[in-house]
Chain A
Amino acid sequence: MSGRSGMSGMSGPILRLDELRTYYPARRNLVDWARRRPRRVVRAVDGVSFEVHEGEILALVGETGCGKTSTIQTVVGGFPATSGRVVVDGRDVTRLSGRRLRAVRRITQMIFQDPYESLNPRLRIRKAVEEPLQVHKLVASRSERRRLASEALERVGLTPAELFVDRFPHELSGGQRQRVAIAAALILNPRLLLADEPVSMLDVSIRAGVLSLIDGLRRERAMAVVLVTHDLSTAAHYADRIAVMYLGRIVEEGPTADVLRNPQHPYTQALLSVVPKSDPRDRFVPRVLEGETPNPANVPAGCRFHPRCPVATAECTVVDPALAPPRASRAAGHRVACILTQGPPPVEEREAAGANNA
């Protein structure tokens, strides 16, 4: 890992989540209300732990409503954490306030799925990119701000910057708008970038440009990146590690190659099996799960995946599994939340499993 030029000088992950829980009050329907049932909670994030180190891209993958966005929204303070810790650069942001909090916030930046969400349509590009500097009162001189904005735009490939600075967001293509949003996010030199589906609104022809830009920046500046995506092929291509979320929990996590080639959780296996391949000769057998992800206001007891799991046992309906190293993978950091795949096996079985999955 490259040398650190950090603020704190402490070693350790840039971001660490520790049993993070974010619950929202559920809307009560009329029946609940009439019967005076207690208000239910939506367990959007329900015990999530992971670490991201500098220069690393962690992909957070999973289906709509699994809690990916809530997780990173909690990290940036958009939602309050119900319990657990969000440790950014060694400091628990759930316990900070005021100036200290702002200092930590400054090293964390976020980009959204829809660049319109982060770009004010009435602000010219130059203003949009300069804005974070003004908000954090970092650079007093106007000419210096201008210089930094132009530099940021050129870094994201909008060259020459003069061609873009005076335009409004609607005068740019989708890919260019997303680049402006990235330039604005990067002008504060964040050490942690949270990217929520940064390319899913863009055409496939230009996605690679935006993603390799993010990829290059984390390499050059040892930035840590959490890439939220529902597209497993994108995660496969750009992430160092993949964390698979299901109903508010990470069910499998590990180095990208290991999660892809040797998936352990039945959910990960099913999810990977249905990703279409470009080559029609790549015959694959989709293992299509029935139904859809259940409502996080109603998390099943035991393993939350058991009602849809093709291999669930009676034990799975009662035991809520924690992440632990899987039996059939020796990769460092590969963990799975499934009692059927955890635990040390006899040595022979381990060898056999390794060979099968190679």
Chain B
Amino acid sequence: MALLEVRDLHVWFALPSGRELHAVKGVGLDVERGELFGLIGESGCGKTTTVLALMGLLPSSASVAGSVRVDGADVLSGGEKGARAHRWTETAMVFQGSMNAFSPVKTIGWQIAEPMEIHGVASRRAARARAGELLELVGIPAAAARRYPHQFSGGMRQRAAIAMALSCEPKLLLADEPTTALDVMVQAQILELLQRLARELHLTVVLVTHDLPLVAHICDRAAVMYGGEIAEVAAVDALYHESRHPYTRMLFAATPELLGGKDVTSIPGSPPRLDQPIVGCAFRPRCDSAVVRCATDHPALAEVARGHEAACHLNDPATGVLSVPDAGQPAGGAG
């Protein structure tokens, strides 16, 4: 049994206009124990919404459907009460931008200790002592617990945010863009830290990022999201070398390489609006290999090789090589 099992997860946001935005559309995921799993995709594709749903932390304007199991236990069915039982103790999260979310007027140690007291996992004194230990765990001297956030560099604040997430000894850590605002050297330090924590604490990590090389570097497997759906999921090696979805391939083609002389090509157009129904494949308007069928049939995620799934009609023998390429390609350029 996988540590994290997500089945047919949907999230809708009620917009002020009265319309509904379908941000997550039937996402399924299996993340094995001890795995470093990547969740990749462009801005707005639903990465944060997905992991917030796993934490039961979506705003009240959101409605959720589907099932989420962590270590066998159902997280969604019990409402807020059910979610609260798992939050932080089973599943913890480092929020996007959390390094900037510390309160400026309280010490780092206080802020790490507070949730432990609130969740009743430690007395005040024990929580203070534990805060120091947690800081040591992420490579910060325990004495720094007495300092204020502005006395920490960005990299140290991000470490502290990770320490805070680990305070209740979760099994699963959701890290949402934990290195996005950091320099490449500090990013490397944080990645090393996540890898070490996964190893030493047998932690399962879901790394959310828009940065493909980062996932290729530290993750075992990854899912590529597009327009609220999973487009492809596979071992990172297969994603790069045997991609079965044009979006994955085009994303790699848009990513410059330090020593690769290859051309870098942007993907024309922009991601789909999620407040309108989409007919056919959501990626079709930007796809370089769309066929007629893509305009009308919604492709389902299907196994294309062992441990490798993709949602693209080109993998279906019935689509056939004789399909006429779609003439309705986007004008492009104006990305």
Contacts and interface: CB of A to CB of B under 8 A. Distances in A.
A276 interface: yes
Given A64-B183, A203-B210, A281-B237, A292 B155 contact: yes
Nearest to A236: B258
A207 B43 CA distance: 13
Given A274-B184, A274-B185, A280-B237, A205 B213 contact: no
Interface stretch (A94-102, A172-180, A345-353): A172-180
A207 B254 contact: yes
Given A63-B185, A204-B42, 20 more contacts: A64-B154, A64-B183, A176-B334, A179-B334, A208-B264, A209-B335, A211-B264, A212-B264, A231-B256, A233-B255, A233-B258, A236-B256, A236-B258, A237-B264, A274-B187, A275-B213, A277-B258, A278-B212, A280-B236, A289-B185
22 contacts: A159-B334, A176-B334, A204-B212, A205-B251, A207-B266, A209-B266, A210-B266, A210-B335, A230-B183, A231-B256, A232-B184, A233-B213, A261-B259, A270-B185, A272-B258, A276-B211, A276-B214, A278-B252, A278-B257, A279-B240, A280-B236, A286-B188
Contact of B266 (A208, A275, A277): A208
A208 B267 CA distance: 8
B250 interface: yes
A157 interface: yes
Contacts of A210: 266, 335
B257 A236 contact: yes
A260 interface: yes
A279 B216 contact: yes
Interface in A320-338: none
B186 interface: yes
Interface of B: 42-43, 153-155, 183-189, 191-192, 210-214, 216-217, 236-237, 240-241, 250-252, 254-260, 264-268, 270, 331, 333-335
B186 A277 contact: no
Contacts of A234: 256
A276 B251 contact: no
B254 A292 contact: no
User: Which of B184, B241, B259, B331 neighbours the largest number of chain A CB atoms within 10 Å of its CB?
Assistant: B184
Contacts of A271: 184-185
Given A208-B266, A233-B257, A176 B335 contact: yes
A208 B185 contact: no
Interface string A172-210: 011110010000000000000000000000011111111
A233 B335 contact: no
A277 B183 CA distance: 16
A34 interface: no
Interface centre among B155, B212, B250, B335 (most CB of A within 10 A): B335
Contacts, number: 137
B258 A232 contact: yes
Interface string A270-299: 111011111111000010110011000000
Interface of A: 63-64, 157-159, 173-176, 179, 203-212, 230-234, 236-238, 260-261, 270-272, 274-281, 286, 288-289, 292-293
A231 to B, nearest CB: 8
A281 to B, nearest CB: 7
Contacts of B334: 157-159, 175-176, 179
Contacts of B210: 203-204
B262 to A, nearest CB: 9
Contacts of A275: 184, 213, 258
B333 A159 contact: yes
Which of A63, A204, A211, A292 has its CB near the most chain B CB atoms (within 10 A)? A204
B259 A260 contact: yes
Contacts of B250: 205
Contacts of B237: 280-281
B307 to A, nearest CB: 15
A204 B185 CA distance: 20
Contacts of B268: 209
Nearest to B217: A276
Given A203-B43, A208-B266, A288 B183 contact: no
A121 B188 CA distance: 37
B217 A277 contact: yes
A278 B185 contact: no
Contacts of A179: 334
A208 B258 contact: no
Given A203-B42, A208-B256, A208-B266, A288 B189 contact: yes
B284 to A, nearest CB: 15
Given A63-B185, A205-B335, A270-B185, A237 B266 contact: no
Contacts of A277: 213, 216-217, 257-258
A286 B185 CA distance: 9
A276 B216 contact: yes
A289 B184 CA distance: 11
Contact of A173 (B153, B185, B335): B335
A205 B42 contact: yes
B270 A173 contact: yes
B287 to A, nearest CB: 12
Contacts of B267: 205-206
Contacts of A159: 331, 333-334
B285 to A, nearest CB: 13
Given A64-B154, A157-B334, A209-B335, A204 B184 contact: no
Given A204-B211, A280-B237, A288 B192 contact: yes
Contact of A206 (B192, B260, B266): B266
B263 to A, nearest CB: 9
A63 B154 contact: no
Contacts of A212: 264, 266
A236 B264 CA distance: 12
A232 to B, nearest CB: 6
A203 B331 CA distance: 19
A272 B259 CA distance: 10
Contacts of A278: 212-213, 216, 240, 252, 255, 257, 260
